[in-house]
Amino acid sequence: MKTFYDIQQLLKQYGMIVYTGTRLGDLELMEGEIQELYDMKILEKENYLVARMIIRNEISKEMDKT
């Protein structure tokens, strides 16, 4: 997992398609979904941490735009 798109595809595998209408809203919701997958022991710790880092970077970019 290396990109935001990879995270979208991962969530899609579990039937989760995230679209709130705003990029920041999407990112925050995706972060929550990734957390839930990790809490349910579906995601391994390494994948969870990488996904969280990618999402956090994307959130930071969005915050810098505003």
Residue 37 to residue 13: CA distance in whole angstroms: 12
Global pTM?
A: 0.91
Domains and CATH numbers, the chain: 4-65 (1.10.287.760)
CB contact at 8 A, 1 and 7? yes
CB contact at 8 A, 29 and 38? no
- pLDDT digit string (tens) for 15-42? 999 999 999 999 999 999 999 999 999 9
Quick one: pLDDT at residue 1? 87
